[in-house]
Amino acid sequence: MSMIAFNDKFDLAANIRCSDKSLTHRAFILAAIADGVSTISNVTFSQDVVSTIRALEALGAEIRIEGNSAAVKPIALPKSEVTINCGNSGTTARLLAGLVSGLGVKAVFVGDDSLIQRPMRRVVEPLRRLGAQIEYKPGSLFVCQGGSLHGAVINAEVNSAQVKSAVLLAGLFAEGQTEYIEQMPTRNHTELLLAELGADIKTSYKNGKYSVSVKKSRPNAFDVELPNDPSATAYSVALALLRGQENTFTNVLVNPTRMGFYNVLKRSGAKLSICNIHTVLGEQVGDICVKCSTLSPIAATAHDVCDGIDEIPLLATMALFIKGEHHFECVGELVHKECNRVEAIEHMANVVHQQCSFDGANLTVISDGVVPCGKRFKTFDDHRIAMCGAVLSIIAGSGCIDSAPFDISYPQFLDSLGIRPLKLGLIGTNILQSVSPRMQTYLAMQAGVCCSYGIVTLAADVSDAELLRVIDSYDGLNVTMPFKIRVAQLLNADIPAVNTVGKGIVPQSTDGYGLVHSLQKHGVDFVNKPLWIVGAGGAAQSCVSELLNYGCKMRVFNRTAQNARLLRDRYGLPDEVADPVGMLTFIPECTYEQGLSLPNSCKFVFISAYMGYSAIREKAEARGLTVVDGFEMNYFQGTVGFSLWTGTPVQDDYEGYLAYVKEFDYI
């Protein structure tokens, strides 16, 4: 988990250096069955592309990577009985279903939880009609069982370039002719590449339908520098248009079947032009020029959607900043993407108080053009929704997204925007439910600081070397159990336990600061008062040290008597303290905590373990005592850490933070 808070600053790069993902997949696949060694340069090794590369290697291709280039030695003797792990990549699964069927080998196709939910029957059934033996198996996408293929005429049942490509790849190995007929032409990268590389392929229009025919043949080896991705470029174009900037983005694939996003914006008033057009492996490549424009409501036809399905969420994001009623036809396919992208669009619209509706086919967005800042957007772990959330946050002035899966398709996304967030995080064990990511991104939005905040779960017995490596890889880290004392020792801190470390700052604990400020906020009279402390860990030690500055007399209780004694000896605390006015517990709910008695003299209790049940809390509430929650301590100590890492003063805005948290049902 890694949340990112954005401000309104960005600096667009002219050359985004993100190879077109569709071409990259296909270039590697065709190189793996070519008649010699191929070289591919300007490769973006996104997670999806790496999934395809690893799968081709499993099938027998030899792929040598140097920098952003690769040399591919084709499959000589296909390996059988292999597992093809497609990760999150639908392109990998569907295209390689065609290739594996053609190779006639046995392979089990698997993927992540998201991919397993996506429709695969659309590609399996056409391949079966060519003779492919494919079965469904629980826990996998499907299983190819080998067998020989024969040509057939396949009429497309869905508008899918992936299905078409799978059929054409299988057709390269089939006896006779394989023909694929589409009602509406989808992106044609596979047929363009096959034709350019000498495969036996023909395209035509029959009775208004687009037809591609292929016969058994083998593509020639090739050398290519891949152009940049128009889908990736679209996010920079959107930012330029919404901010009123002029930019030129170079070396971009401008295949007409990929220009739906740009065609829609042109009709909406965007001043976009393409220059320096040339051809790479049969594909049109050029520079996209953006001029300052005034945009009117957006309308995307079914044809536009077919030519830009992945950019529809981005167009809907832009629509939120444009006053009017916006229409997107035939977008039902979005429901079957990495997440239900229609629901994701509805979520973004709802968060910024705009209207969005979907009738099962068509999407409508109604906006007044006024988008509030400082909102948090769910990404549903979808890379394109995450990038839309980033655009929305930046143009709004501030905002955050709850995960950053950019590596799936566009690892250089933030670099292309000139955005380099401070890398902050939390290390510990069993910390996935921590509220620190929400808190730190809230502080960042309030302060106008761009930063990421991630959760780093480590095993308690992680090596010192690995622990130090993780610490060094972050600009700033919060440290929680069981590492507070250990990190203090490794960093030679002047205090026994730390919870805040970072580049250029002295390792320290802000627990005591957080405790004192939360007690003061509730008007608790603790100065010079007797207190009972439950626990002897890092937080307890830091708070005891701080409370001594306020003249408090404290007795320590702990399940392990030796640890309590060590804490007493370290700070010279008494063995007995009578009639405490407060009981402060720094341990989670457990049998020991349940068995503790709450003295009649207590006026308040402090519970650090705010995420779970506490017997002490229950006893205090039953008596009507003041209960101070560790949630507040967490906030106040977090503000200190944020200030140290960013050099930015933080104003006390606990009420605003609490409202922000409640808005998203975190507590």
Same domain, 546 and 402: no
Residue 157: pLDDT above 70? yes
Are 64 and 176 in a shared domain? yes
Average pLDDT for residues 404-425, to the nearest whole number?
95
User: Could you tell me how many helices (H) and strands (E) the chain has, helices first?
Assistant: 24, 31
Model pLDDT for residues 85-104, shown as the tens digit of each residue: 999 999 999 999 999 999 99
pLDDT grade, residue 645 (50/70/90)?
very high
Domain identity same for 203 and 235: no
What domain count does the chain have? 3
pLDDT band at 301 (very low <50, low <70, confident <90, very high): very high
In a domain, residue 439? The reply is no
Asked if the structure places residue 263 within a domain, the reply is yes
213 lies in the same domain as 73: yes
pLDDT at 390 over 50: yes
Cite the beta strand spans of 416-499 per DSSP E. Answer: 422-428, 451-457, 476-479
The answer as to whether 315 is a domain residue is yes
Looking at the structure, do residues 7 and 47 belong to the same domain, yes or no? no
* pLDDT tens-place string over residues 234-250: 999 999 999 999 999 99
DSSP-based three-state secondary structure for 174: coil
- Give the whole-number percent of the chain exceeding pLDDT 90: 88
**Share of residues in the chain with pLDDT > 70 (%):** 99
Same domain, yes or no, for 173 and 235? no
pLDDT at 667 over 50: no
Written in H, E and C, the secondary structure of 519-561 is HHHCCCCCCCCEEEEECCCHHHHHHHHHHHCCCCEEEEECCCH
- Residue 649 — very low, low, confident or very high, per pLDDT cuts 50/70/90? confident
Residue 612 has pLDDT above 80, yes or no: no
521-545 pLDDT per residue, tens: 999 999 999 999 999 988 899 999 9
Residue 269 confidence (pLDDT) above 50: yes
Sign of the C-alpha dihedral, residues 389, 391, 396, 401? positive
Domain-located, residue 646: no
Q: What is the CATH number for 35?
A: 3.65.10.10
Asked if residue 552 is part of any domain, the answer here is yes
Is 438 among the domain residues?
A: no
Higher-pLDDT residue of 582 and 613 is: 582
Measured in degrees and rounded to the nearest 5, phi and psi for residue 152 equal -165, 165
Q: Could you tell me if 313 and 273 lie in one domain? A: yes
Per the domain annotation, does 196 fall within a domain? yes
* Residue 149 shares a structural domain with residue 211: yes
**Where residue 31 falls among pLDDT bands split at 50, 70, 90?**
very high
pLDDT given at position 472? 96
Q: Evaluate whether 262 touches 233 at the Cβ level (below 8 Å).
A: no
Q: Return the pLDDT at 1.
A: 62
Per-residue pLDDT for 278 more than 70? yes
The residue-averaged pLDDT of 336-355 equals 96
Identify which has the larger pLDDT, 330 or 434: 330
Of 167, 194, 225, the position where a domain reaches its end is 225
Mean pLDDT lowest among 144-158, 592-606, 645-659: 645-659
Is pLDDT above 90 for 573?
A: yes
* Average pLDDT of the chain to the nearest whole number: 94
Report the pLDDT averaged over residues 364-387: 96
Residues 396 and 315 in one domain: yes
Q: What is the pLDDT of residue 666?
A: 44
Catalytic option among 310, 381, 382, 629: 310
Using alpha carbons, select from 86, 309, 25 the residue that is nearest to residue 187.
309
Contact 264, 296 (CB under 8 A): no
- Indicate whether 194 and 290 sit together in one domain: no
According to DSSP, the residues that pair with 290 across neighbouring strands are 247, 272
Task: Single out the residue in 202, 225, 248 at which a domain terminates.
Answer: 225
Its domain, for residue 58, covers 21-225
Please give the Cα distance from 300 to 280 (Å, whole number).
29
CATH code where residue 577 lies: 3.40.50.720
Q: Based on the fold, state whether residues 234 and 198 are members of the same structural domain.
A: no
Q: Does residue 582 surpass a pLDDT of 80?
A: yes
Q: Is 310 a catalytic residue?
A: yes
- Which whole number is the average pLDDT over 408-416? 95
Closest alpha carbon to 419 in 450, 440, 377, 379: 450
pLDDT at 139: 87
- CA nearest to 52, candidates 10, 21, 12, 16: 21
Asked if 160 and 183 touch (Cβ cutoff 8 Å), the reply is no
Residue ending a domain, choose from 190, 225, 260: 225
Same domain, 26 and 9: no
- pLDDT of res. 589: 80
Q: Which two tokens stand for residue 595?
A: 């068995």
pLDDT digits (tens, 9 = 90+) for 183-230: 989 999 999 999 999 999 999 998 889 999 999 999 999 999 999 999
For residue 268, is it within any domain?
Answer: yes
